[in-house]
Structure 1
């Protein structure tokens, strides 16, 4: 294979420290970071003067194809939102719709600096096609729901194994597949135990929703005599390969269970606020040494996929909830969106920081903008001032996905029209 080099020069780099540097990328890897990097044979040179270079952001809880449901069901509680609006719409989904929605989501994430995500949804081979074309990195899982029905359970495992066989390690290794049991209240104990057994045997990760609402906790106490994380611990489900989204309603004992089992938590502040689910005890989890990252959730409950925006909300929500302005400072939130995100999907050895030997996943933000001026504190500006629209260039796996704010792997106008048509067609069917 012919070697391809990209030289990024004159960058303000957020790495182990904030410094001026140049970065040399060879194929998919960072091979040199230096103040006086002299390399004259690069296939492409990107002048990063006036740019802040950060690791590609990691969104650890998404439902990509739900972009088609953006704005469909706002301002209502989770139960009503799911039962009366989202699940009826999802009954009309097909592979083509999920492809269109996923491609739209990839475009949105690239434009706001995200290079990697952790997704759970349906028709995941069609989602994988969109991810492959976009050039992004992602962990995909088929959302498994059996409601205690043995036939459904067998079908969910059949579909999950199909997606693993077809998609795991595809797209030059950018796509991984995980198990995706939806939640303790939609999945039987048999399903959860079988997922854990199979995942442990094969080395795949697990992605699940846990303790999103008070109702979920009270229902669990009523039906199982235990809170959700207590129940999952009792059946041996928790572990370092598990990423649990939400974790809003936690007891002190559950926080200890999460920490001791090394279960990863994906915090989704905008979704939790919009659905009035509550405020996750993120500062407590972090203080106890638990690993917490950031997710947007789907666009039906957010309504965007901008992790830069989510970083600011993450910090501010903890500050106002604890009445302590020193809680969750900018650097800690930045780590949640980068290296903690990488750890949540088992990729911390490959991504999440900019350093030699890691994959070339990074975003360049324009600092010569009104809201980034005066530019004096890069970490502060990144977390509290920047927005997705400040992202100028995005690289994933050594491929430039966006340059000078122009998408290179996705036809933006085409995907907007395709997704609009898919959404209208799907909702017309739902109405019928």
Structure 2
């Protein structure tokens, strides 16, 4: 993240205490949520998605997530780490678990995030269970609010993805819920938001995320802008200024941190310093357009968080990046080797995801 110019991230998953320690060591501001859910999905045949429900409805994991969030409330904003509540997905969380989350968030003034309207299977599963869209159901149980973030919020009524009657955008707008759009990771699978400008015209708050590899806000801004223009068949939508705001001031406001995402008196000294003499940064008449449409990660010179440089001289503070890269490759190879034990059909990784040039397999 620091190498790609991010000064604040929102991270969800497991091992939150470890993630928090690492963020503090390298100097990365982070909102972290320990994930929990009522059950998990699986496929028995590669066609159907089924669910395996936990006996305790995810309550023990919820208590762990709440404990982490309360230990990192950070009301002053001076700490690097702030906790939030993270029920994983709308289709893997019961109404009771989500209501517990909402009540705890209200009581302790915490943000909460879940995944909803993120896939065909989830959308149709929720309409099958409840005769309600994922967004309608979340509204019914009182989960949508100003403190709620929804990733990814793409499969909504009124879009070609669902061709379903309703007013999901209106529900999101009236409740003050924020949609976190991750354009690159979905666009590479042929899925886009319909559309970024349309959501905003309906009054829906939208900010940008990165999701999985590569965790680059430069790519997120660029793809958010370009796919919006392509979808709308217009050049005057998805403007550089707007996607830049979605990655900075708008995201900071959603996190209820008016001291982040901007350069002004009273704001935290979280700054990205750019090289202005590279081939991708020159010529530059409008630096915002230059950054959104042309800049590369190599154009980032230094990154400051809280008045201290976390990235400079092509290195992240406190990391042995060569060692970390080797460890990442080795860990990935262990996952690939063990892939058959996780796949419903016991396929190898090469069978499941063939190489771009399979003949290379015989030579590596």
Residue among 66, 79, 85 paired with 1:161: 66
Q: Matched residue of 2:66: which SS? A: helix
2:254 corresponds to: 344
Q: Equivalent residues in 2 for 1:137-156 (5 A)?
A: 137-147=29-39, 148-156=53-61
Residues 57 and 94, structure 2, Cα contact 8 Å, conserved in 1: no
Give, in whole Å, the separation in 1 of the partners of 2:110 and 2:98.
14
What's the CA shift for 1:280? 4.1
Measured in 1, the distance between the counterparts of 2:20 and 2:199 equals 33
- Measured after TM superposition, the shift of residue 310 of structure 1 is 1.3
Larger strand proportion of the pair: 1
Q: Distance in 1 between matches of 2:333 and 2:74?
A: 33
How much does 1:429 deviate? 5.2
Question: What CA distance in whole angstroms lies between the structure 2 residues aligned with 1:145 and 1:127?
Answer: 20
Aligned to 2:42: none
1:267 and 1:280 in contact (8 A); partners too: no
| 8 Å Cα contact 2:117-2:155 kept in structure 1 | yes
Could you tell me how far apart the structure 1 residues matched to 2:68 and 2:148 are? 19
Q: CA deviation at 1:210?
A: 1.0
Deviations 1:241-283 (A, max 9, x none): 1111111122251111111111011101111122334434221
- Find the counterpart in structure 1 of residue 177 from structure 2: 263
Are 2:94 and 1:188 equivalent residues in the alignment?
yes
Pick from 110, 114, 117 the counterpart of residue 211 of structure 1: 117
CA distance in 1, matches of 2:322, 2:101: 40
Quote the residue 1:328 is aligned against: 238
Higher mean displacement: 406-415 or 377-386: 406-415
Compare relative contact order (CA 8 Å, sep 6+) and give the higher one, 1 or 2: 1
TM-score (norm 2): 0.83
Please state if 1:283 is matched with 2:175.
no
Partner of 2:322: 413
**1:306 maps to which residue?**
216
Distance (whole Å) between structure 2 residues aligned to residue 195 and residue 280 of structure 1 = 29
Deviations 1:343-384 (A, max 9, x none): 23222x110111010111110111101111112221210111
**Matches of 2:67 and 2:152, distance apart in 1:** 28
Structure 1 residues 427 and 158: CA distance shift in structure 2, 3 A = farther
Query: Which residue matches 2:357?
Result: none
Whether 2:307 is the aligned partner of 1:401: answer no
Residue 233 of structure 1 is matched in structure 2 by 139
**Cα distance, 1:425 vs structure 2:** 4.1
Partner deviation per Cα, 1:136-174 (whole Å, 9 max, x = no partner):
111111121213534141221122133235444399511
SS in 2 for 1:209: strand
Which residue of the partner structure matches residue 149 of structure 2?
Answer: 243
Residues 313-370 of structure 1 show CA distances to partners (whole Å, capped at 9, x for unaligned) of 10000010111111111111110110111123222x1101110101111101111011
* C-alpha distance 284-424 of structure 1, shift in aligned 2 (>3 A): same
1:244 counterpart SS class: strand
Structure 2 unmatched runs, 5+ = 40-52, 159-166, 342-364
**1:371 aligns to what?**
280
Residues 266, 294 of structure 1: 8 Å contact kept: yes
Aligned partners of 1:124 and 1:140 also within 8 Å:
yes
Is residue 223 from structure 1 mapped to residue 133 from structure 2 by the alignment? no
Are the equivalent residues in 2 in contact too, given 1:312–1:383 (CA < 8 A)? yes
CA 1:379–1:260: 2 relative to 1, 3 Å: same
Task: Show the counterpart of 1:12.
Answer: none
Mapped to 1, the partners of 2:232 and 2:318 lie a distance apart of: 43
CA contact (8 A) 2:57 2:97 kept: no
Q: CA RMSD in A?
A: 2.0
Correspondent of 1:273 among 161, 183, 187? 187
For 1:110, the equivalent position in structure 2 comes to 2
Could you state the TM-score of these two structures normalised by the residue count of structure 1?
A: 0.70
